[in-house]
Chain A
Amino acid sequence: MRTIPPHIAQCLRRDTPRRPLGPAALDQHLQGGIATDALHDMLAATPDDLAAAIAFTAGTAARLAGSRPILWVRQDAAEQLSGALHAPGLAALGLDPARILLVRARDAASVLRAGLDAARSGALGAVLIEPWGESRHLDMTATRRLALAASTTPVLLLRAGAPMPSAAATRWRIRAAPSRPRLARAPGAALHVELLRHRQGIPGRAWLLEWDDEQREFRTAQDAGDAFSAPLGRTPVARAG
């Protein structure tokens, strides 16, 4: 990792409250963790990568929320087209489904409204909103409103597709990655996570996160103490937004 000049590092280390995500390389890059008072944009690279994005987003939400409940607002179309959220699957990733409140909304506008109200109420640990498809409701103004509400409760915006302008503090693109075979050529689990945008730091890094069966958490390939030969490194910085 490149060293950051001290004066910039000081700027970056404003009194932003952060929570560690877990994998050491990510937390190091993020100056200690993900900001708890901000909007974070989570993009599934393609609709087929939604499960991978859900895993990363839900894990992030769990870290942000601590022991408080998480409110997950899903648009009906997401439930119908990409499959219903399956609680045992969340439990298998170490996220207690009892902490999740699932809100289903008909359209993107009501997803946003419910998410805003939930974030402003201050009663929750994290708010995860999942509108479906491109929506004119999800413009710069709407995301700025979400970002403001996120000063009370962290907000994660989960979508599939191309990046769109938003007021998010960080933007991540997640895709499923081939896993290291387990015993008897059984699949493991792995995610490819790119930091496309980072308002208070340096974007353009990517990590391969692998599921650790014993610790029951995602770790970067380096943490796992092995030279996994995936082509990683710098990726072009997305200029959107």
Chain B
Amino acid sequence: MHFPHLSAERLSRGRDDADGRTAGRIEHAGLAGGGVPQQSHTSGRWYDAAPPLAVTAARAGGMRILALDARAAALGLWPGMTLADARARIPELATAPADPAADAAFLLRLAALCERYTPVIALDAPDGLLLDITGCAHLWGGEGALHAAIRRRFARMTLRSAIAGTADAARALARFGGDDLRDLPVAALEPSPRAARALAQAGLRRVGDLAARPAAALAARFGMALVQRLRRVLGEEDAPITPLRPPPDFTAARVFAEPLTRTEALATLLAGMLEELCAALTAAGMGGRVFALALFRTDGTARELVVESGRPLREAAAILRLWRERLDGLEEPLDPGFGYDALRLSVARTEPLAATQTGLAGDAAAGDVAALIDVLATRLGRGRVLRFAPCATHRPERAARRIPALEPPAPWQPMDAPRPLQLFDPPRIVTAMAFMPDGPPLRFRWKGRVHDVTLAEGPERIAPEWWREDAVAARDYYRVEDAQGRRFWLFREDGDDAPRWFLHGVFA
């Protein structure tokens, strides 16, 4: 797919709805923007909508035109001419400064629009896209129908597109026009300037002229690169394209003749797609860890939802259960708008999964726990289904890390020193009274209540971890019991003047 007027059309899209403010600054000479027919008072020409537009940039020798829209091209302007020349011919030419970054972003957005047709899309910068439609065309009813669907989607833009056996052939056909590769000018091979001169001197104008000659002679005369290009354009050699995203190994897709507006039907469709995927996964001996569902709306917007599992899965029922959780728990519910016209479910990450063994009761139970964790993690979020992991540190706050539950458990050693059941992080400030400056507290006040200490054990000094940046002062911990029989973990931090007391935890 080639968008010959990409940057100008990016700007005029904005011009249609917001007078250029959104897409970029357009300077008008003699004509307003807007969408009404008007006559230029400088040249007398009539325009049905907006004046021709050129994208310009400062180059050696003054402002030059980098790109044009279709109207400007039809008036006989060409990229590369100076702006002064162009203005002399078309005084009402509107101009806008070039913005390669915005053009690149726009091309990416166009690529995203094509996601619905195939997952394998490569950028052909600065103004083209390469779509690998292998295995996707049947969903749309053949290559012709898919091609027509793509052309309809980009009907508002100038699009030259072609379908061919190899990416280079399709690219050459789209950019240089025509139906027969052999009729294309040699420029379609994009020769180097030197080779182009040599070809012109030799009188070779068409690709067909070259194809008829022995490759060895061509390589000797014009260089190996040209021969390689020729072979690729003619489809004798295939060069894989580099897609924007690594293509998933397993995908299933549904394309609807009528837009799907009822999200209730999603579960049924998902079940069908999962059956296909799971059959493919089983055949490959793989299981999926990450499943992505792309929902393509008729208006061109797409939404992608992801479900992750802690272990490779390939049972359709288990994966469907995760999807139900995901769809039920969406914070922003699905909005089908005018309907979805395509769905694609892909396995974004796979892992080898050996054939299922049955009969080992312990394994089955472990699998059930993993399935439960998957369901809860999908519903509540991965950070909410946790497991405790020990951490070799003296700081009580850090002694127990919380890790996602699917990581393997680590063995725990009970500590000799007393540790509370509940820990406050950060520690709560309390006011305490001690008999001796370095003794246990006699009484302390917390949450407005006074606790009289009857029994106390300590101090246990926990020294600061000075090698850490956020090291705290040394703490003297006391385990105390109050008159009601409640047991607390208090510590004293010796400050500059008076010691400060904190409540750090509660014991049983």
- A residues contacting B by CB (< 8 A) are 48-52, 54-56, 68-69, 71, 82-94, 96-106, 110, 114, 117-118, 121-124, 175-179, 181-182, 184-187, 189-192, 211
Cα distance A153–B415 in the bound complex, in angstroms: 31
Chain B residues with CB under 8 A of A94: 414
CB distance from B446 to the nearest CB of A (A): 10
Q: Are B485 and A87 within 8 A (Cβ)? A: no
B409 within 8 A of A: yes
Given contacts A118-B372, A124-B369, A189-B507, contact A101 B386 (CB under 8 A): yes
Q: Are A87 and B479 within 8 A (Cβ)? A: no
Which of the listed residues A88, A186, A189 has the most CB atoms from chain B within 10 Å of its own CB?
A88
The residues in B between 386 and 422 inclusive whose CB is less than 8 angstroms from any CB of A are 386-388, 390, 396, 399-400, 402, 405, 409-415, 418-422
Cα distance A114–B386 in the bound complex, in angstroms: 14
Q: 1/0 per residue B461-488: CB within 8 Å of A?
A: 0000000000000000001110111110
Given contacts A68-B365, A85-B422, A121-B371, contact A93 B400 (CB under 8 A): no
Chain A residues with CB under 8 A of B402: 102
Q: 1/0 per residue B265-289: CB within 8 Å of A?
A: 0000000000000000000000000
Chain B residues with CB under 8 A of A87: 388, 390, 399-400, 412
Which of the listed residues A92, A106, A110 has the most CB atoms from chain B within 10 Å of its own CB?
A92
Q: Are B400 and A177 within 8 A (Cβ)? A: no
Given contacts A51-B421, A110-B380, contact A93 B508 (CB under 8 A): yes
Chain A residues with CB under 8 A of B456: 185-187
User: Which 6 A-B pairs have CB atoms at the shortest separation, nearest pair first?
Assistant: A55-B508, A123-B368, A83-B422, A186-B457, A87-B400, A187-B481
Other-chain contact of B505, A89, A178, A190 (Cβ < 8 Å) = A89
Given contacts A88-B399, A102-B387, contact A83 B423 (CB under 8 A): yes
Cα distance A193–B280 in the bound complex, in angstroms: 57
Chain B residues with CB under 8 A of A101: 369, 373, 385-387, 405
Chain A residues with CB under 8 A of B43: none
CB distance from B32 to the nearest CB of A (A): 54
Chain A residues with CB under 8 A of B368: 121-123
Chain A residues with CB under 8 A of B419: 86, 88-89, 91-92
Nearest neighbor of B440 in chain A, beta-carbon distance? A185
Nearest neighbor of A100 in chain B, beta-carbon distance? B388
Given contacts A89-B422, A117-B376, contact A104 B386 (CB under 8 A): yes
Chain B residues with CB under 8 A of A176: 484-487, 508
Q: Are A88 and B508 within 8 A (Cβ)? A: no
Given contacts A49-B486, A92-B415, contact A179 B365 (CB under 8 A): no
Cα distance A93–B422 in the bound complex, in angstroms: 13
Q: Are B372 and A186 within 8 A (Cβ)? A: no
Given contacts A89-B423, A190-B485, contact A97 B412 (CB under 8 A): yes
Chain B residues with CB under 8 A of A92: 414-415, 418-419
Q: Are B384 and A86 within 8 A (Cβ)? A: no
Cα distance A92–B414 in the bound complex, in angstroms: 5
